[in-house]
Copies of this chain bind each other. A is one copy, B any other.
Amino acid sequence: MVATTLQTLDRGLAALSLLAEAPAGLKPAELAERLEVHKAIAYRLLSTLEAHSLVRRLPDGRAVLGTGLIPLASRVEKQRLAAAAPLLATLSAVTRTTSCLVLADGANAVVALVHEGGDGFLRVTYRLGVRHPLTRGAPGLAILSGRPPSDDEPPGVQQAREQGYALTRGELQPGAVGIAAPVPAEGIEAAVSVVALQELPPDAAQQVVSCADAIGALW
């Protein structure tokens, strides 16, 4: 890896990490010392980062992280959603149900992506952006089952952990049944879920688990 990286870029990114660890920011001389580079190099690294809004200079010359990082970070999740969308579409096609991707946000689950499906007269679907506590519904239980066991987890989480998916009936909506599996990924908590009126195909759970694993491999 070392042979194929670029020293100047590597130093600039190391500067970002050092600034992230310094709540009050760093003076150029401090940064130069920590990076073990000449002070003139530290100035040029900071100027370059500043030109991209990734660093901001305080009136006393200290450098802190800049707001340009915030939109970049928000794109990370958008790219993950874009990558997951075709896999959800396939899941809907093979299970003939509506499928969705749910993200954990604090103590809540948020519906982040929906692919409508099902060929009956009536169709049940998730509303994009809706939130519900992680302690309710298959997607919430699936996300909790991806965490280490805890004493205060709701009933059903341990079972979901053992079987690899959560199945709930009528928890979020009377008459609806949901199956959800956690997405195995670093740095994000998510679940793939399908929902149907009353009955799901016999292999739906296996399809949901496979889809969640495939999304985890992509992420």
Contact = CB atoms under 8 A, between A and B. Distances in A.
A76 interface: yes
B6 A75 contact: no
B24 A83 contact: yes
Nearest to A74: B73
Copies of chain A in the complex: 2
A148 interface: no
Contact of A5 (B5, B17, B51, B217): B51
A59 B20 contact: no
Contact of A48 (B6, B24, B69): B6
A4 B69 contact: no
A58 B76 CA distance: 13
A7 B44 CA distance: 10
A150 interface: no
A: interface residue count bin? 35 or more
B17 A67 contact: no
Label chain A's interface by main secondary structure. Answer: helix
A165 B104 CA distance: 37
Interface stretch (A8-16, A95-103, A120-128, A137-145): A8-16
A47 interface: yes
A65 to B, nearest CB: 5
Given A9-B11, A10-B48, A59-B218, A83 B69 contact: no
Interface of A: 1, 4-14, 16-17, 19-20, 23-25, 43-45, 47-49, 51-52, 54, 56, 58-59, 64-67, 69-76, 78-80, 82-83, 186-188, 217-219
